[in-house]
Chain A
Amino acid sequence: MQLTVWTYEGPPHVGAMRVATAMRGVHYVLHAPQGDTYADLLFTMIERRQARPPVTYTTFQARDLGKDTAELFKRTARDAYERFKPDLVMVGASCTAELIQDDPAGIGQTIGLPVPVVPVEFSAYQHKENHGASETLYRLVRACTKNGAPRGERPPGPKRCNLLGPTALGFRHRDDVTEVTRLLGQLGVAVNVVAPLGASPADLARLPDADFNVVLYPEVAETTARWLTKVYAQPSVNVVPLGVGATREFVKEVAALAGVDPQPVLDAQLSRLPWYTRSVDSTYLTGKRVFVFGDATHAVAAARIATEELGFTVVGLGTYSRERAREVRAAAAKYGVEALISDDHLEVEETIARLHPELVLGTQMERHTAKRLGVPCAVISAPVHVQDFPARYSPQMGFEGANVIFDTWVHPLMMGLEEHLLTMFREDFEFADGVGASHLGGHAPQAPKLAEPELVAPVVAAPVAASPQPAPVAAAAQAPAGATALAPGWTAEAEKELKKIPFFVRGKAKRNTERFAQERGLSSITLETLYDAKAHFRS
């Protein structure tokens, strides 16, 4: 048993739903109890999809259990086919139905539907959402290509590729597809099929027509791409174009596979990031300590962008995708930090509190942790939140994606000059503790008195104050930097000086000074000690 409050990933059948919902002409018949229909709202509310997910649930009840739940599944599948007339039916079980062993896969084969019936089965007590999405795409592609039936001649004309991995409810998938398609167009490479987002079963059958595959989200599409390589000799582009450097590598790899010249695109200076980050205004970003956490692909990419393109220092790197721990460990080793592989958000919170970063690049979970700790944060990865589906065009990938990333990550930080002013005029009463960057208004990181509840999923519009118990929430949260009581040993003078240090670095200064004093066996901390320690830790 694993004790969990919030989960980074849903169960595997939610991954299957992300694939089914992304596609056209597919219907998913899911053996599941009524409560599992909650998953619909992820799509209709968080992503604001305009139609219900193409999923029919059997919603079996306790009283059905003694009787014939298999019969219920049969009936539900037939009715769903009749009502929705899909081109393909997926059948499967959620965690509870897995235990009652009605064998939806077997039943699916025997009910004689006139369309392909594809079983998607996972072990729900072992796997999670991304695995479910990955397995589902793989099963569907195998089924739609008739298990790798030989393909005809590739049509003549410019080289073509498939874009693999974007799903419903994906972190910026909608805009990434647009951006990468445009980039490929600039190279003269056409997109054969985007899958699963927007694809029909017939489109999946056309996947083998492409010359190569682009894997946008390895978590979802790597297994499928490998299989396509094996069966159809389609090579894959393995660089994910997140950040300017990776996008340039991506351009080169694509160009090599397509036999085109990458130089015009590389020379075109399509991103503002390289100049913005060189602009003197960005000097203050140098060496900012960042903690990075997300799915493996986004976390590894973010660490690279942070280091190479923004000049930050990565102080921690981790992922909740255990399946991809290896690549995260390898990346962490590059930055000289230990990888945190965990899907326990409390462990992640502890790590952040311990490392005291100046910026957190994480998921919605870390955004809330960071808010409690008073650290700025930008979101880089799923799990998604209604805010991750902005109305405006906002890709993460390609050159425009790099622009978006620059803005999103720099925005929560203090502006350079403002930071200096805060340091110089500590005693200006309007610079009171807890005042954040002025451009962030009320949303500045604040010293949290109460951990204010906040809606991540969109669901309940009612402000929390309206919930049956609008109780003040005891802030078991970590005391913010600067709010901690002084340990004995500080002279009044030193303590006063400490207060002049901006609140967002004060905790660090305090700890460093105390450690410095302790290591030297000093009994009290004077003004001298404070500045000695400062000099010590600078060098």
Chain B
Amino acid sequence: MNAPVPSLPTIPSAPLAARPVLRERGQHEVFCGLTGIVWLHRKIQDAFFLVVGSRTCAHLIQSAAGVMIFAEPRFATAILQDQDLAGLTDANDELDRVVGRLLARRPDIKLLFLVGSCPSEVIKLDLSRAALRLSRSNPKVRVLNYSGSGIETTFTQGEDACLASMVPELPTVAAQANDPLMVVGALPDVVEDQFKRLFDALGVPVTFFPPRRSTALPTLAPGTRFLLAQPFLAATAKALEERGAKRLSAPFPFGVEGTRAWLAAATRAFGVSDEHLARVVEPSEQRARTALTQARERLSGKRIFFFPDSQLEVPLARFLSRELNMSLVEVGTPFLHQDHLGPDLAMLPADVTVSEGQDVDRQLERCRAARPDLVVCGLGLANPLEVEGLTTKWSIELVFTPVHGYEQAGDLAELFARPLVRRTRLEV
């Protein structure tokens, strides 16, 4: 391996030099938070997500999910109709009726989320009261609520809102000697299992939140330390901190460097030596470096432009620039959480434009002018940009594919390399 992958990044401890951020306010071309249901309903296996919304909301989930027709997915939409808008009492009765029908059909459901949408927010349908009422009338089911509405949440913020709504449910335990680390953020099971094995080998006790079953919630003790696995969990982190938990600051676990630094944040907090960490992760890092070699040849020096989508943009850009030697043109993100993203931001080159929010038409102009080699964007933009001769990578795939950790580093790089490879192959 000749590529310069530092084994332990030096994360600046000094306050960040204020990086200029381009703040945009115009048309956003991003999904709303309801979209998170698509992966959350598979993650928590005894949970059901009931959106209280309009036909648009149902259609969005169906379209964004690619309509994976499962025997019966664990989500549905209670579509508001004219009659429901007439008076709020009706809407509550209707909700009770719909939930009753649902729970009768799915006795296996232990946790029900009432998910607010733009229409339910605008008519001020109080879903938190509805959740309380329904919890009382259905003692076997825990009923929670959060909003995935597009007026309040952007794409992955739906997961944030969902997890934040679960934080008050986490049981409190007394302070204990080996209070486990809590890893926060929905991860594909395969990735979660890999991390579990690593933490076991490192001797760091660990729990994962959200759990696979709602009946196995991780516990909180005073001073429980947690590590975010996803960069979009601002509200969840805040709710945990309000309950006395302590966030460990780290870059996000993408690529070799990010994963090492992320694990290091945990091992240092748990008194595990850096040497032990290096020994434990050595085989994984070796594999990951090998896996990255080929992609690096293809991606090195290529210019990449990110449209805002999942908030994964900053850590991914860091990975692409430092481990694959890509050159960053613009890194757009719907929200820039300076605190959570601090370590990743600090590792971005100085000359990159970081933009927050969106005015899609103006951003398209910047993108066309820059003619990057690769554009990371949403599905509404990808084909039209391909027609203009740009090469694109659908951003949603980065959310729907296991990309965290050592074993996925190669796959993650490959996701970016494939569209470029495809271009060079085709001769039609």
The reply to whether A468 and B73 contact each other, CB–CB distance below 8 Å, is: no
1/0 per residue, CB under 8 A from B, across A446-481: the answer is 000001011111111110101111110111110000
Q: Across the interface, do B380 and A41 meet the contact criterion of CB distance under 8 Å?
A: yes
Residues of A within 8 A of B91 (CB): 1
Q: Check A477 against B80 for contact (C-beta < 8 Å).
A: no
Contact of B118 among A14, A96, A365, A451 (CB under 8 A): A96
Given A65-B151, A96-B54, A470-B190, does the pair A37, B28 have CB atoms closer than 8 Å? yes
For the complex, give the distance between the alpha carbons of A460 and B68 in Å.
9
Contact, CB under 8 Å: B56 / A466? no
Docked Cα-Cα span, A300 to B61, in Å, equals 30
**Interface 9-mer from A42-50, A188-196, A387-395, A523-531:** A42-50
Interchain CA distance A489-B51 in the complex, whole Å: 46
Asked whether, in the complex, the Cβ of B118 is within 8 Å of the Cβ of A3, the reply is no
Contact partners of A409 in chain B: CB under 8 A: none
B59 touches A7 (CB 8 A): yes
**Chain B 287-306 near chain A by CB (<8 Å), digits 1 or 0:** 00000000000000000000
The answer to whether B72 and A1 touch across the interface, beta carbons within 8 angstroms, is: no
B152–A62 CB distance below 8 A: yes
Task: Give bound CA distance, A471 to B158, whole Å.
Answer: 21
Bound Cα distance A56, B59 (Å): 19
Q: DSSP class of A's interface residues: helix, strand, loop or mixed? A: loop
B409 → chain A closest CB, angstroms: 15
Contact residues of A between 417 and 438, Cβ < 8 Å to B: none
Contact with B along A5-29 (1 / 0, CB 8 A): 1110111011000000000000000
Q: Is A271 an interface residue (CB 8 A)?
A: no
The CB with the most chain B CB atoms within 10 A, among A13, A36, A451, A459, is that of A459
With A and B bound together, what is the CA distance between A3 and B105 in angstroms? Answer: 12
**B contact residues around A51 at 8 Å (CB):** 384, 387
Q: Given the complex of chains A and B, what is the CA–CA distance between A41 and B380 in angstroms? A: 4
For B29, what are the chain A residues with a Cβ–Cβ distance below 8 Å? Answer: 34, 37, 40
* Minimum distance in angstroms from A456 CB to a CB of chain B: 4
A477 to B73, CA, bound (A): 11
Say whether B4 faces chain A, with CB atoms less than 8 Å apart: no
Q: Once the chains bind, are A469 and B85 in contact (CB under 8 Å)?
A: no
Chain B residue with minimal CB distance to A369? B69
Give complex CA distance A51, B364 in Å: 13
Known contacts A5-B72, A45-B383, A34 near B64 by CB under 8 Å: no
- Report yes or no: B58 in contact with A7, Cβ–Cβ below 8 A: yes
Interface centre among A461, A474, A477 (most CB of B within 10 A): A461
Q: Is A275 an interface residue (CB 8 A)?
A: no
**Which B residues touch A459, using CB under 8 A?**
63-66, 379, 396
B68 touches A125 (CB 8 A): no
Do residues B384 and A50 form an inter-chain contact, with CB atoms below 8 A?
A: yes
Residues of A within 8 A of B80 (CB): 1, 125
Chain B proximity of A101: nearest CB distance (Å): 10
- Whether A33 contacts B55 in the complex (CB less than 8 A), given A6-B69, A65-B122, comes out as no
B122-A5 in contact (CB<8A) = no
In the assembled complex, the Cα of A57 lies from the Cα of B190 at a distance in Å of 39
Answer yes or no: B254 CB below 8 A from chain A CBs.
Answer: no
Verify if B402 is at the interface (C-beta below 8 Å from A): yes
Contact B42 A467, beta carbon cutoff 8 Å = yes
Contacts of B69 in A (CB 8 A): 6, 365, 368, 451, 453-454, 456
Q: Nearest chain A CB to B381's CB is how many angstroms away?
A: 7
Give the B interface residue count (CB, 8 A): 82
Q: CA of A62 to CA of B281 in the docked complex: distance in angstroms?
A: 45
* Binding-face segment, B6-14, B136-144, B181-189, B261-269: B181-189
Chain A, 204-244, contact with B by CB distance < 8 Å: what is the 0/1 string? Answer: 00000000000000000000000000000000000000000
Chain A residues near B26: list those with CB within 8 A: 59
**B31 touches which one: A38, A451, A455, A469 (CB < 8 A)?**
A38
Q: A103: shortest Cβ distance to chain B, in Å?
A: 15
Nearest-CB distance from B199 to chain A (Å)? 19
CB pair A36–B381 under 8 Å, yes or no, is: no
* Shortest Cβ gap from B70 to chain A (Å): 5
What total of chain A residues lie within 8 Å of the partner, measured CB to CB?
A: 77
Verify if B30 is at the interface (C-beta below 8 Å from A).
yes
A-contacting 9-mer, from B93-101, B216-224, B311-319, B347-355? B93-101
Q: How distant is the Cα of A42 from the Cα of B383 in the complex, in angstroms? A: 12
Residue from B27, B33, B39, B76 whose CB has the most chain A CB atoms within 10 Å: B27
A36 touches B62 (CB 8 A): no
Q: Does A248 belong to the interface (CB within 8 Å)? A: no
Q: Is A61 an interface residue (CB 8 A)?
A: yes
| Interface residue? A100 (CB, 8 A) | yes
Query: Is A60 part of the contact surface with B, judged by Cβ < 8 Å?
Result: yes
Q: Which residues of A contact B52 (CB under 8 A)?
A: 1
User: Quick one: CB contact mask for A364-388 with B, threshold 8 Å, 1 for yes?
Assistant: 1100100010000000000000000
**Does B43 lie at the interface of the complex (its beta carbon under 8 Å from any beta carbon of A)?**
yes
CA distance A470 to B122 in the complex (A): 35
Of all chain A residues, the one with the shortest Cβ separation from B45 is A471
Q: Does B241 contact A (CB under 8 A)?
A: no
* In-complex Cβ contact of B30 among A4, A34, A83, A458 (8 A): A34
Contacting pair A456 B27 (CB below 8 A): no
Which residues of B from 357 to 407 have beta carbons under 8 Å from A?
361, 378-384, 387, 394, 396-397, 400-402
Cα–Cα, bound, A466→B188 (Å):
8
Which residues of chain A come closer than 8 Å to B122, judged between CB atoms?
Answer: 65, 96, 99-100
- In the complex, the answer to whether B81 meets A126 with C-beta atoms within 8 Å is yes
State in angstroms the CA–CA spacing of A14 and B97 once bound together.
29
0/1 interface trace, chain A 140-162, chain B, CB 8 Å (1 if under) = 00000000000000000000000
Most buried by B among A36, A37, A468: A468
Q: Specify which chain B residues have a CB less than 8 angstroms from the CB of A464 in the assembled complex.
A: 68
- A110 neighbours in B (Cβ, 8 Å): none
Indicate if the CB atoms of B380 and A37 lie closer than 8 Å. yes
CB pair B59 A455 closer than 8 Å = no
Closest chain B CB from A417 CB (angstroms) = 33
Chain A residues closer than 8 Å to B101, beta-carbon distance: 3
Q: A497 vs B43: C-alpha distance in the bound complex, in angstroms?
A: 45
A76-B67 CB under 8 A given contacts A35-B118, A96-B118: no
Q: Which residues of A contact B31 (CB under 8 A)?
A: 34-35, 37-38
| Cβ-based interface call for B82 (8 A) | yes
Chain A proximity of B260: nearest CB distance (Å): 23
Please give me the 9 A-B residue pairs with the lowest Cβ-Cβ distance, nearest first. Answer: A35-B32, A469-B42, A35-B150, A40-B380, A33-B150, A456-B67, A459-B66, A96-B118, A41-B379
Instruction: List, sorted by A's number, 30 A–B pairs whose CB atoms are closer than 8 Å.
Output: A1-B95, A3-B76, A3-B102, A5-B72, A5-B77, A34-B30, A35-B34, A35-B118, A35-B149, A36-B56, A37-B30, A38-B59, A41-B378, A44-B382, A49-B383, A52-B384, A59-B26, A76-B27, A95-B118, A99-B119, A125-B82, A453-B70, A455-B66, A457-B66, A459-B64, A468-B43, A469-B39, A469-B43, A469-B188, A473-B70
Binding site for A on B (CB under 8 A): 26-35, 38-39, 42-43, 45, 52, 54-60, 62-73, 75-82, 84-85, 91, 94-95, 97-98, 101-102, 118-119, 121-123, 149-152, 154, 186-190, 361, 378-384, 387, 394, 396-397, 400-402
